[in-house]
Amino acid sequence: MDIKFYLRITGPKEYLPEGVKYEEHTIFREDIEDAREEDEMDEDVIEYLVEEEIASWEQRWCTAIQITEEEYEKLKK
């Protein structure tokens, strides 16, 4: 089971010359298993992995928010 999630990222020109960026990410089953601690549910691990990706952008002075696939497709055009 692969899980896709989408981010809308805004930030300073040093990191995002265009000012905004849209990304598609895939979480693979092995990512979930590698990140799992004890009896964690898949949903908790997935939420953690999404939050980690958002945090990696925030460390670069950017703002990242999760968006739906429909929003991603619409904004990507």
Query: What is the mean pLDDT for each group of 10 consecutive residues in the chain (77 residues)?
Result: 94 90 96 95 96 96 96 88
Cβ atoms within 10 Å, residue 59: 7
Cβ atoms within 10 Å, residue 7: 20
Task: Find the domain containing 24 and state its range.
Answer: 3-76
H helices, E strands: number in the chain: 3, 3
What confidence score (pLDDT) does residue 33 get?
95
Domain count, the chain: 1
Provide the token pair at 46.
């997935």
| SS3 letters across 39-60 | CCCHHHHHHHHHHHHHHHHHCC
